[in-house]
Structure 1
Amino acid sequence: MTPTLLLSLVLTQTPAPSLHYTAPQVEAGAQRPLEGYDFTVFEPSGKKADLYVGVDEANLRKTASADAEVVTTLPLGAALRVLERGKERLKVGEYVNHWYSVEYLDTKGTPAGADDEVFKGWLFGNTLTPFRFEADFDGDGEQEVATVVMSNDFKIRVRVLEPSVKPPRRVSSVDANPAGGAYLSVDGGPVVAKLVPSKTAGLALVQLDSTPEACGDFNTTYVSYTVSGNKKGVLGKAKVALTLGGLSDSPSFSEYKVSFQPKQKGLTVVRTNTGEDDSGKEQKTTERTKYQLKDGVFTEVTPAGAASAETKP
């Protein structure tokens, strides 16, 4: 492969979608200015599906107003095409965002509606997400739907919908903390999400990676969804299965690598810590910790210890 072709391929790759929601930290009771909020802004792209509904029973409004007539109610994970973004940033409830004109799409990516009527309307930006995953998270043979959004209190929120359960009690949710907020004096942060399939981890997981650009802190959180006894038609519980934190702030570095053992439903974390001793020499240590899955949570089964250590001039 020629360097020119390689460069062309790199430049044409679509970057991984991400989501963020932040605002400056303020004293209790103080009001944050609207312009202080920073959040993901979506634009029309002409694709069959731009985004998904990140909440269940979302009201698609006829106009860009929280009091507008409801066109229809959309389920968690419903596919959407963005048609237009409202110009103003507004506060609706506890969220600051834009209104979006969207078109509801069916599973084939074509406009959907009732009686040949295509459902179009407006949704507030906090209900939209680029992250939708479908998998048998609880091992009952049925496919659940999971989405990732930012909550109004600046957490990363994972919702899992049990499709055979009727609303309104068919969704379980759990929150994870984004990285870097304390260092940057903001609430919130970014997230990139992906699905870890059951063949990799022993059960399907939602992986959340939070890596702020202006901060050395980063973390990875795994979210599980389990039902006691793997019963069908029963709402289970979304849980934080494991959270790992790292640091990249020279001369201090703390990195981790996760290896799953799917048959044993366990995992191993190898952490490498690099720093300087009192004399300024580089010192590196490696720790290996094993975890076992129990009731949707990875629990440490061997104490963390330095497997190896070396000192470099």
Structure 2
Amino acid sequence: MTPALLLSLALSQSPELELELHYTATSLEEGEDASKRTLDTYDFTQFEPSAKKADLYVGVDEANLRQSPGADAAVVTTLPLGAPVRVLERGKERLKVGEYVNHWYQVEYTDGKGAAFKGWLFGNTLTPFRLEGDFDNDGEQEVATVVMSSDFKIRVRVLEPNVKPPRRVSSVDITPAGQGYMSVDGGSAKVTLVAGKTAGLALVQVDSVPEACSDYSTTYVSYTVPGGKKGVLGKAKLALEVAGLADPPNHSSYKVSFQPKQQGLTVVRTNVEEDESGKEVKTTERTKYKLADGVFSEVKASGATAETKP
């Protein structure tokens, strides 16, 4: 089985992974001023109008829905993190608002009482990724979203539903893979929910896999509240980060296996490279991790086993 196939199998845990969010710009030379970037050096996910009731979500908290496509336009209403919206129209021009480059989108939102609102949101606030789960095991459902930040990070936010704004959201940033290989800042994200019964606690799984020869990664994000108290804002954390490489003739893949009853997991890493004689050398290493306070820490690594093929 090839490393590419191993990677495909490892990432095919959920149909949600078919969705992708990306935000990049051409890398700057050392000391180069970011303000000199032109709008056409940015590449980002563009959303299309939809006939569905709602197919996207608000990825930030307290997003202002505006009457017209402008940062100073009147506010129609304010939307919470995770609010479902339907895209009616995408603005024709890409614009810079604050530190973001994107389009304005006209959207429709229906609140919990059935009242419908139409207005405009800037594209950086929208995401296809909204996850709901009891991340902190307090019996209540939290909401998590994933967006790309203005400084080209993958930002995971978790909202505690029974805490009032403005301090009801905890966030953590992930560095996208492939930046050095592709000479860009930023990258892509594919997202799925790992259930608590699978991992011992619910996790947001973020895969950053460029469509080119480069490094790639899987990151798990946890959300914990000390003592499991209800109505208290917890903390989103990087529970585990694992990385691989697809750069022929060198390949590195990984497989994560959870042991929920033991509150741990095992990562099996497989590296394939050529030696000086052109022979393929395959090494495998198994590492065990233990879960504590929402973070998986290494407790034991086996010695690497090597196999050489002509």
Q: TM-score when scaled to structure 2?
A: 0.92
User: Counterpart of 1:37?
Assistant: 42
- Give the counterpart letter for 1:310 in structure 2: E
CA displacement at 1:303 relative to structure 2 = 2.7
CA offsets per residue over residues 102-155 of structure 1, 9 Å max, x none? 001356xxx942xxxx21100000000000000000011110000000000000
- Give the counterpart letter for 2:256 in structure 1: V
CA displacement at 1:250 relative to structure 2 = 1.2
Secondary structure of 2:139's aligned partner: coil
1:224-235 matches, cutoff 5 A = 224-235=222-233
Q: Is the 8 A contact 1:289 1:305 kept in 2?
A: no
Q: Is the 8 A contact 1:227 1:237 kept in 2?
A: yes
Aligned length in residues: 293
User: Counterpart of 1:301?
Assistant: 299
Question: Bigger CA drift: 243-252 or 75-84?
Answer: 243-252
User: Counterpart of 1:77?
Assistant: 82
CA offsets per residue over residues 258-303 of structure 1, 9 Å max, x none? 0000111110001111111111111111100000111111100003
Q: Which runs of 5+ in 2 are unaligned?
A: 1-14
Secondary structure of 2:124's aligned partner: helix
Query: Once the two structures are aligned, what percentage of the paired residues are identical?
Result: 74
> CA separation of 1:76/1:255 partners in 2, compared to 1, >3 Å: closer, same or farther?
same
User: Counterpart of 1:48?
Assistant: 53
Q: Is the 8 A contact 1:112 1:119 kept in 2?
A: no
Distance 1:186 1:304 in 2: 36
1:18-167 matches, cutoff 5 A = 18-27=20-29, 28=31, 29-30=33-34, 31-106=36-111, 112-113=114-115, 118-167=116-165
CA displacement at 1:160 relative to structure 2 = 0.2
Question: Bigger CA drift: 168-177 or 243-252?
Answer: 243-252
Distance 2:278 2:121 in 1: 55
- Structure 1 stretches of at least 4 aligned residues deviating more than 4 Å after TM superposition: none
- Give the counterpart letter for 2:97 in structure 1: V
Q: Which runs of 5+ in 1 are unaligned?
A: 1-12
Matched, 1:278 2:280: no
Asked which structure has the greater RCO (Cα within 8 Å, sep 6+), the reply is 2
User: Counterpart of 2:12?
Assistant: none
User: Counterpart of 1:237?
Assistant: 235
1:254 pairs with one of 252, 256, 281: 252
- Give the counterpart letter for 2:258 in structure 1: F
Matched, 1:196 2:219: no
Secondary structure of 1:246's aligned partner: strand
Q: TM-score when scaled to structure 1?
A: 0.91
User: Counterpart of 1:310?
Assistant: 307
Q: Is the 8 A contact 1:219 1:246 kept in 2?
A: yes
- Give the counterpart letter for 1:272 in structure 2: T
User: Counterpart of 1:9?
Assistant: none
> CA separation of 1:149/1:15 partners in 2, compared to 1, >3 Å: closer, same or farther?
closer
CA displacement at 1:15 relative to structure 2 = 7.9
Distance 2:86 2:281 in 1: 52
> CA separation of 1:100/1:112 partners in 2, compared to 1, >3 Å: closer, same or farther?
farther
Q: Is the 8 A contact 1:223 1:238 kept in 2?
A: yes
- Give the counterpart letter for 1:75 in structure 2: P
